[in-house]
């Protein structure tokens, strides 16, 4: 197979600045694009003030941070009175900036990498998407679902 990142990457993707409120990211994902595959946007590439890639924010990041932090210390969600706690958790989440909850340690891809190289990187790191970067700026994104359908179709 002679397939490279440039052959499979998606060049239309949503971005958000790292200093934007999480509430904006929530709305952007809710109203996100539907790709040719029928998949809906579930993440945004995060950029700094000079449009350099700094991370990704996903639905999973947002949902994880909706949970009160005390749930990370051995308390079960079943022990919480959610009637009051949910509103507090939502208010706290919406006050945060994207940079506070995004995934920031993402290794990107370059357009000339072989498909199997990035597949290996994605599988080993449990990535569902991988930004394609040129000089630190995003120029595309590769989704694991696109790799799957490309290989097996």
- For the chain, 153 residues long, give each residue's pLDDT as a single digit of tens: 789 999 999 998 999 999 999 999 999 999 988 877 777 889 999 999 999 999 999 999 999 999 988 888 888 888 878 888 899 999 999 999 999 999 998 889 999 999 999 999 999 998 999 999 999 999 999 999 899 989 998
Beta strands in the chain (DSSP E): 15-17, 43-47, 53-58, 129-134, 137-143
* CA separation, residue 84 to residues 91, 120, 149 (Å): 11, 44, 44
What does the pLDDT read at residue 72?
A: 81
41 vs 145: CA distance, rounded Å: 12
Long-range contact set of residues 148-151: C-beta below 8 Å, sequence gap at least 24:
149/37, 150/3, 150/8, 150/115, 151/1, 151/115
Q: Which pLDDT score, from 0 to 100, does residue 139 have? A: 96
**CA dist., res. 67 & res. 89, Å (int):** 7
Q: What pTM, to 2 d.p., does this model score?
A: 0.88
pLDDT of residue 101: 96
């Amino acid at each position: 197979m002679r397939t490279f990142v440039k052959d499979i990457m998606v060049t239309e993707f949503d971005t958000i600045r790292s200093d934007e409120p999480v509430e904006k990211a929530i709305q952007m994902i809710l109203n996100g694009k539907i790709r040719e595959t029928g998949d809906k946007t579930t993440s945004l590439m995060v950029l700094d003030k000079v449009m350099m890639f700094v991370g990704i924010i996903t639905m999973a990041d947002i949902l994880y941070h909706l949970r009160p932090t005390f749930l990370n210390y051995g308390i079960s969600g079943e022990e919480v009175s959610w009637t009051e706690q949910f509103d507090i958790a939502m208010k706290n989440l919406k006050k945060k900036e994207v940079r506070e909850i995004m995934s920031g340690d993402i290794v990107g891809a370059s357009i000339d990498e072989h498909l199997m190289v990035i597949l290996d990187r994605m599988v080993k790191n449990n990535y569902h998407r991988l930004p394609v970067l040129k000089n630190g700026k995003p120029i595309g994104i590769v989704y694991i679902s696109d790799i799957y359908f490309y290989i097996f179709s």
